[in-house]
Structure 1
Amino acid sequence: MPSCRMLSRPDQDILGSPSIRLRKMTSLRGHGACFLGFVEIDGVAARGRPLEEPLAWVPGARSSTDPACFPPLQCGDFVNAGAKEMMTPSDVIAAADITFSCVSDPQVAKNMVFGNCGVLQEMSADKGYVEMTGIDAETSQDIAEAISGRGGRYLEAQVQGSKVQAEEGTLVILAAGDRTLFDDCQSCFQAMGKNSFYLGEVGNASKMNLVLQVMAGVTLAGLAEGMALADRAGLQQKDVMEIMELTSLACPLMIEKGKAIIEGGFPTHLPLQHMQKDLRLGMLMGDTLELPLPLTAATNEVFKHAKRLGYGEHDVSSVYIRTRF
């Protein structure tokens, strides 16, 4: 498919979503999982118009679902942002027109769909399901087949960006799957991010996301090793950053994470364990395609060690601790 078609966006004027709802909810992405459903205006398809009446589901003490299928999460922030709390994923599907899911990993994403009181129980031809979890193409295709088998519409919508970008509404959305659902979600995507791209058939968005994550992970490992080398050589890291910002190496990622390394606090914008998960999935994609990824493999080991040292929930820049010692 020509790139101009792959990266096409709808030629239409799209109204913005209610910022108090969508921006507050998307800002929670850096803290954990979410499962949100939205009811379209007047209960009918409203392409290009805002989705309203958010509903959130988070299992807890009052949930009757199998705890082995669904992890405990917190719902209070979503409710405070205007959502209505539901008991199970299937309850959200039943009450909503379009549901967005963003959980921790591929297995949890599949549990949401196939588990007890999961998505499939209430999926029907008038429902749409948007999977925003960072997953591999095979998992996305499995979910897509199950959703379409019940008559529903499926869209994978991978996210490029950090907690700060989510709060600012400047994420980049990579979508693939049902084109009509992509069009219907534009008001939500505009509230979440500055750009959304439609990449064709299911799996393409997951593959694109993993390619970009592999690039980012290898780059961050190089930055961390370089800063550790400077420190060991007796150079001032702030001098390294000042000079680097004047060279072709300067980019927002390098500058932001370099400053985080110098400050040493590692406030979480993108959890290290999420990056390591994407590196692992990228390696699995390389194995499937019989493509050697030696740099990715080495980088994955560095991130695994940092995770083992207890930095999994810290910012991805904390990989520096592993390279320094």
Structure 2
Amino acid sequence: MVRNLLNAGFSVTVVSRSRGPIETALSLGAEEALHPCDLAEKADIILTCLPLPSTIEKVYFGDNGILQADLNGKLVIDHSTVSPLLNRRTYAAIKEKGGSYMDAPLSGGPMGAEAGTLAIMCGGDRADYDRALPVFEAMGKHLFFIGEIGSGSFVKLMNNYLIGVHTAALAETFCLATKAGVDTNMLYDVLAASTGESKMLHRIVPLVHKRDFAPRFSNELLHKDMKLATELADAYEMDMPINRLAEEMYAIAKSKYPKEDMAALFKVYEEASGVVVRTEK
């Protein structure tokens, strides 16, 4: 994302808890801030992309956090996947400091970030979206203004709810096929040409066949998002039994393989059924 912003001609300042990404960003031409407050003082538009609600609390509300900066006239955009309720709280706090705030979660993964083809789902004030549009266009291809603050996060959580459910259904399907002696390469090809096709089929099954569970999107993070979807359902007094069942399976995957890719959910089903889904090619 930093590379694409720099290539689009933006001056970029960065801060991170991880030294590796900072060194890469500096080598591309970015500058480094001391901490989130320092970064917010130096930039007109501040983008955050953080893993957990607790990280949001620290980066925004903690010592040397964004809210300790002079935010008058600044636009703060959070790309994290968190609860709309946290978005609304942050929005109010930044407005009180004279700044603007949007939630703008992402979809597309590391490959989409690198290629500049991310989907960006935005909630907030329309004028802020229009102001941020050149920044979004540098990083994404599928840009959506959803509506009021928190609505981008709501849509993203529904997307990740479907990711979890689809992956659980694929795990059941391919483990059952393996137990039945069906060639799962052939099953994959048939589904790819049939109405059972989905993006998750192509995202998950090739990784499982190669036994590649390197963390592109971890079980830990997906379980967090599915829990947030359940909390939203509770807030709106709607039962989502399919999500609850998939969330339970991801709770097991998180306990066993927290840092592995969400495709490692297959291993939970494999261990329960006594099979291993792998390619024979």
Shared fold, TM over 0.5: yes
| Aligned mate of 1:315, from 248, 254, 261 | 261
**C-alpha distance after superposition, 1:3-42 (max 9, x if no partner):** xxxxxxxxxxxxxxxx9822689xxxxxxxxxxxxxxxxx
The answer to whether the 8 A contact 1:272-1:313 is kept is yes
Tell me the SS of whatever aligns to 2:193. coil
Equivalents in 2 of 1:292, 1:96: separation in Å?
43
Please state whether the residue corresponding to 2:259 is helix, strand or coil: coil
Give the 3-state SS of the residue equivalent to 1:185 in structure 2: helix
Answer yes or no: is the 8 Å Cα contact 1:59–1:73 preserved in 2: no
- CA 1:258–1:24: 2 relative to 1, 3 Å: farther
What is the match of residue 263 of structure 1?
Answer: 210
Select the structure that is richer in helix.
2
Correspondence for 1:220: 167
Change (3 A) 1:103 1:266: same
Give 2:186's aligned residue.
Answer: 239
Q: In 2, Cα distance between the equivalents of 1:93 and 1:219?
A: 39
Q: Distance in 1 between matches of 2:20 and 2:125?
A: 29
Q: Does structure 2 conserve the Cα–Cα contact (< 8 Å) formed by 1:23 and 1:167?
A: no
> 1:108 aligned to 2:108?
no
Is 1:54 aligned to 2:29, yes or no? Answer: no
Look up the SS of the partner of 1:199 in the other structure. strand
- 1:291 is matched with which residue? 238
Q: Is the 8 A contact 1:138 1:203 kept in 2?
A: yes
| Residues 5 and 135, structure 2, Cα contact 8 Å, conserved in 1 | no
Aligned-pair distance for 1:317? 1.1
Deviation at 1:267, TM superposition (A): 3.2
Map of 1:40 onto structure 2: none
Quote the offset at 1:75 in angstroms.
2.0
Contact 1:306 1:312 in 2 (8 A): yes
Task: Give 1:150's match in structure 2, choosing from 97, 104, 116.
Answer: 97
Q: Aligned residue for 2:275? A: none
What is the 5 A alignment of 1:1-325? 21-22=3-4, 52-59=10-17, 75-309=22-256, 311-325=257-271
Per the alignment, do residues 230 and 253 of structure 1 end up closer, same or farther by CA in structure 2, a change over 3 Å counting?
Answer: same
1:314–1:59: structure 2 CA closer, same or farther, 3 Å change rule? closer
Counterpart secondary structure, 2:122: strand
Pick closer, same or farther for the CA change 1:228–1:100 going to 2, 3 Å.
Answer: same
Superposed CA deviations along residues 83-125 of structure 1, whole A, max 9, x for unmatched, are 1111111100111100000011112112211100111111322
Superimposed CA distance per residue, residues 117-163 of structure 1 (whole angstroms, 9 cap, x where no aligned partner): 11111132221100111010100001000000001011110112211
1:197-236 Cα shifts (integer Å, max 9, x gaps) = 1111101111111111111210110001111111122222
Code of the aligned partner of 1:304: A
Identity among equivalent pairs (%): 25
In structure 2, relative to structure 1, the CA distance for the partners of 1:127 and 1:74 (3 Å cut) is same
- Confirm or deny: 8 A CA contact 1:132 1:159 kept in the other structure: yes
**Separation in structure 2 between the aligned mates of residue 166 and residue 185 of structure 1, nearest angstrom:** 17
Counterpart code for 2:186: D
Taking the aligned partners of 2:17 and 2:111, their CA distance within structure 1 comes to 26
- Equivalents in 2 of 1:278, 1:182: separation in Å? 24
Long gaps (5+) in structure 2 = 272-281
CA contact (8 A) 1:22 1:188 kept: no
- Alpha-carbon distance, 1:324 to partner: 1.0
Q: Aligned-pair distance for 1:51? A: 6.2
Amino acid at match of 2:268: R
Letter in 1 for 2:113: A
DSSP 3-state at the match of 1:53? coil
Report the Cα offset of residue 259 of structure 1. 1.3
Q: Secondary structure at 2:147's aligned position in 1?
A: coil
Instruction: Tell me the distance in 1 between the aligned counterparts of 2:193 and 2:259.
Output: 32
Do 2:6 and 2:29's aligned partners in 1 also have CA atoms closer than 8 Å? Answer: no
Kept in 1, the 8 Å contact 2:5–2:12? The answer is no
1:120, 1:150 within 8 Å by CA — same for their partners in 2? Answer: yes
